[in-house]
Amino acid sequence: MTSLFQALLVALITWYVATAMPMFLRWSFYFGGPLVGGLINGIIFGDIAYGMQVGANIQMAYLGMVAVGGSLPSEMAIAGYLGTALTMIVKLPPEAALTVAIPLGGLGLLSKNAIMSLNAIWVHKADNYAKEGNIFGIRLMNLYGSQIIPFFTYFIPTFIAVYFGSQALDALLAYVPESFIQALKVTGGLIPALGIGMLVSYLWKRELIPYLLIGFFMAAYLKVDIMFIAIIGGCLSALYVFNSSKKGGSISG
């Protein structure tokens, strides 16, 4: 059973990552990503390895996600943090995590849209304070007023889902056939292919294809550890950037 403290902590972190965290932390350090969400949930629930496996599976679906004109296909904080938490609570296989996280990410867009629509209230109040020359009022509206609606749309639903939803999910899964769980695992295995495909579509440039093939064949035939491939890939990318800069060429191709 999920403790009150764990539910409060997951809800607080989900709200903070989704709306209150500075952007440079959210995306430069990727605290907004499901992979970090898996690490944090692993610490909260006392199983870091399992949390990382769940977060990594969810992350695969969002590798190529790009916000176009401010439009997001999914709310990653809800998918990554709440999705990981619920998967860990009911102890689903990591491969089935996507079937929990993807619908949650879609529902999370309702929270995001509500914030973007209703937070205009505080913008107008800040405009009035600006006309009065009230700097304190402007800061108050931007830093604190703007977090009132996100608190209701992120913190409260996440807390209810984690604290009260776990018992319901446990009871439901007791009646779910094992074959259905296996089907979820298979379905979850298909979605990462979409994320990888989206990522490759952005990287499919002639000068980058050899690096992609090197990584693929190292994994497929040499059976080397994925961390080793990641380190080699990082070194090769650094060499590519350095050489392109010396030649005065374009890195983007």
User: How far apart, in Å, do the first and last CA atoms of the chain sit?
Assistant: 53
pLDDT at position 79 is: 86
pTM of the model: 0.64
pLDDT at position 153 is: 82
Question: Do 103 and 178 sit in the same domain of this protein?
Answer: yes
Distance separating alpha carbons of residues 68 and 33, to the nearest angstrom: 18
Question: Do 180 and 230 sit in the same domain of this protein?
Answer: no
Per-residue pLDDT of the chain (253 residues), as tens digits, is: 678 899 899 999 999 988 888 877 776 667 878 889 999 999 999 999 999 999 888 888 777 665 544 455 567 888 889 889 988 988 888 888 877 887 787 777 777 777 777 788 888 899 999 999 999 999 999 888 888 888 888 888 888 888 887 565 556 556 667 776 666 556 555 655 666 676 677 667 777 778 778 888 888 888 777 778 888 888 888 888 888 776 655 444 4
Question: Do 154 and 236 sit in the same domain of this protein?
Answer: no
Kindly list the distances between the CA atom of residue 49 and the CA atoms of 9, 38, 54, 88, 97, in Å, as whole numbers in the listed order.
19, 9, 9, 11, 14
- Residue 199, in any domain of the structure: no
Question: Do 89 and 161 sit in the same domain of this protein?
Answer: yes
Q: Which of 189, 220, 244 is the last residue of a domain?
A: 189
- Residue 42, in any domain of the structure: yes
Question: Do 90 and 39 sit in the same domain of this protein?
Answer: yes
Question: Do 218 and 123 sit in the same domain of this protein?
Answer: no
- Residue 195, in any domain of the structure: no
Question: Do 170 and 228 sit in the same domain of this protein?
Answer: no
Question: Do 149 and 223 sit in the same domain of this protein?
Answer: no
pLDDT at position 170 is: 55
Structural domain total, the chain: 2
- Residue 198, in any domain of the structure: no
86, containing H or E segment: helix 83-89
> What's the one-letter identity of residue 7?
A
Q: Which of 160, 189, 218 is the last residue of a domain?
A: 189
Domain containing residue 104: 4-189
Question: Do 16 and 81 sit in the same domain of this protein?
Answer: yes
Helix (H, G, I), strand (E, B) or coil at 188: helix
pLDDT at position 131 is: 92
What are 219's two structure tokens?
């994994």
What are 41's two structure tokens?
């949930």
- Residue 60, in any domain of the structure: yes
pLDDT at position 68 is: 47
Question: Do 137 and 249 sit in the same domain of this protein?
Answer: no
Beta bridge partners of 68: 71
Question: Do 216 and 159 sit in the same domain of this protein?
Answer: no
- Residue 156, in any domain of the structure: yes
pLDDT at position 10 is: 92
Question: Do 124 and 52 sit in the same domain of this protein?
Answer: yes
- Residue 169, in any domain of the structure: yes
Distance separating alpha carbons of residues 143 and 150, to the nearest angstrom: 12
